[in-house]
Amino acid sequence: MANSNRRRNYMHKVEVDGIVHETVKEIRDNVVSFYEDLYQEKESWRPSVDGMDFHSIGATESSNLERKFDREEVFQMLKDLQGDKAPSPDGFSMAFFHKCWEVVGDNIMDFFEEFHTHCKFEKSLNATFIALIPKKRDALNIRDFRPISLVGSMYKLLLKVLENRIRLVMETLISPSQNAFVGGRQTLDSVLIANECLDSRLKSSIPGILCKLDIEKAYDHVNWNCLLYLLERMGFGYRWCHWMKTCISTVQFSVLVNGSPEGFFGSSRGLRQGDSLSPLLFLLIMEVLSRLLQKTEEAGLIRGFQAGMLGGNEVRISHLLFADDTIVFCNATPEQVFHIRKVLSCFEAITGLHVNLAKSEMVPVGVVDRAQYKALNVWNSVLEKIERRLASWQTLYLSKGGRLTLLKSTLASLPTYFLSLFTILVSVARRIEKLQRNFLWGGMGDIQNYHLVSWDQICSPIPYGGLGVKNLILFNKALLGKWLWRFGAEESHLWRRVIAAKYGEEWGGWQSKPYRGSHGCGLWKSISVGWGTLLEQIMFSAGRSDRIRFWMDKWCGDTPLKDLFPLLFLCSTNREASIEFVMSRLDMSSVRTLNISFIWDFND
């Protein structure tokens, strides 16, 4: 497999600045020259964003980020790093440090102590290899290769510790419209929000535009001064800012050209793709774009798509982000498009990130494909991916165990994204299962094979004699049901507020109200079909109790009180009352009094 990847990624020729180079020396020299120029800041001055508000952390959180590194924290992060990966450029794998912790632990802690006290480390520890990974098959242009940084083992451990600390405050700092790398937020949140907004817009018959922005070489163009300025504005302390400056400014690059390290140069801009801290720092940079768009909408210069306004709570979405992937919603007027263009120009001037308008897309909402998500063609891409993957394995000599491993780890995961959003058609599920069966028993495509065990038995859990392969229809129901569980658990999340504003919510906020309109391109109506199944399985543990119904919900056993005491329930004057209302406290004490009223006095 490694030899196959090496052959596929081998660079026989490369195009740099419109010129194709084929000799070994030309390839090496021009690749190194390209990346040496890429990581150099071209502008000596950039405007700041002094007049813009950003979320910030408090003094306690800032102090916690800068606390001393303790042995338990460092060792825990070391254990979390995968030890079986290829050795770092310094020749050591993380497994070495894990196994030899008793021997090298003191030296590692000395390194962390020096970094904490003096905000520096030996520069050689930050030497980095750039591995060029082609973005597509037969890549020729140098821009079609993704530069992945391979960092040293000690520096990787330091990044892991710093990443673990800053991750705790990311939810405070990052806008709800950003759904990448923030705890509790998921990739699919943006997909659901975008579909529901688009569905509402189409049904309103108001013209609109959906803009998909392409940020060119996003990580590589980040301006360091802007990043450090944002860290300071967001409440990070001097020590943390100095740590970040040391990490990003002391790097020295060598480019791996066909496996051979070439060049040795520094940089004055950009974040490395491949280290664990860079994605979180990049989110801080993208906050500038999010805030600019938000301010532009607040000024009335652009107007996003309205998702819903039930209960008077209007939710309007002007943009969604997943790292650097950005979608902007606005009205279909030249003025609003012009203002978005101005925002992007300001964003580039401040951060150094350039939006490639040639690769960006503008889609009028009226021409968006209204094909029902139940249509078979929605699943064609999934079927094609599975068939392509099977075709690539056709020439391999695989045992039954090897086939089962590939089936469970790769084939079963390919449709997961779609299964998390759409209800799978029975015909599609049967088609995928047929491909899986034929592959498991040694066949390809429609070739008939002897299947020695029923598919239902293969999909059974291992303790029950099966092989643990996922049943697609049940797996689909479970993934869609996760949305319903999250609806009750994530009150403040943006996707949940969109659904509540569009469809409404039942008492207590545990479920959305039923929707009886046309499907359109929204996803929630299909997802909400599972409410009945989910609610049958839910039991509550009484805490604050203001969202749990005394009679209707299961909170004191597996049966609601209305079923245990049906006559009392029928006589109750407030059948929807919460536990907090029925069992109220006296003067904030721990003693509760029963406050149940009936339609007549039982003492009469």
Query: Helix, strand, or coil here: 378?
Result: helix
Query: Helix, strand, or coil here: 140?
Result: coil
Segment 32-50 mean pLDDT: 93
Q: CB under 8 Å to 193, separation ≥6 — which residues?
A: 307, 317, 320, 494, 495, 498
**pLDDT tier at 136, thresholds 50, 70, 90:** confident
Residue 543: what pLDDT?
78
Q: Does 444 have pLDDT greater than 70?
A: no
Q: In what helix (H) or strand (E) does residue 539 lie, and over which residues does it extend?
A: none
Taking only the tens place, the pLDDT of each residue in 543-583 is 777 888 888 888 888 889 889 888 888 888 888 888 888 88
| φ, ψ for residue 49, nearest 5 deg | -125, 55
Rounded (10°) CA dihedral 116, 118, 123, 124? -60
Segment 290-313 mean pLDDT: 88
Residue 480: what pLDDT?
96
Residue 366: what pLDDT?
72
Name the residue with higher pLDDT: 251 or 444.
Answer: 251
Distance set, CA 224 to CA 220, 383, 512 (Å) = 11, 44, 45
As beta bridge partners, residue 326 has 213, 321
**pLDDT tier at 458, thresholds 50, 70, 90:** very high
Considering only the C-alpha atoms of the chain, give the largest distance between any 2 of them, rounded to a whole number of Å. Answer: 104
Q: What's the whole-model pTM score? A: 0.90
Q: Are strands 319-322 and 325-331 parallel, antiparallel or unpaired?
A: antiparallel
Q: Does 416 have pLDDT greater than 70?
A: yes
**DSSP tally for the chain: helices H, then strands E:** 25, 16
Q: Does 604 have pLDDT greater than 70?
A: no
Taking only the tens place, the pLDDT of each residue in 162-189 is 999 999 999 999 999 999 999 889 989 9
Segment 456-476 mean pLDDT: 93
Q: Mean pLDDT highest for which of 237-246, 370-379, 414-423, 501-510?
A: 237-246
Residue 394: what pLDDT?
74
As beta bridge partners, residue 209 has 330, 364
Separation of first and last alpha carbons in the chain: 85
Taking only the tens place, the pLDDT of each residue in 225-239 is 999 999 999 999 999
Residue 586: what pLDDT?
64
Q: How far is CA 251 from the centre of its chain?
A: 28
Separation of alpha carbons 154 and 94, rounded Å:
9
Nearest Cα residue to 1 out of 69, 86, 67: 86
Residue 576: what pLDDT?
85
Q: Return mean pLDDT, the chain.
A: 89
At what angle are helices 472-489 and 426-440 packed, to 10 degrees?
120
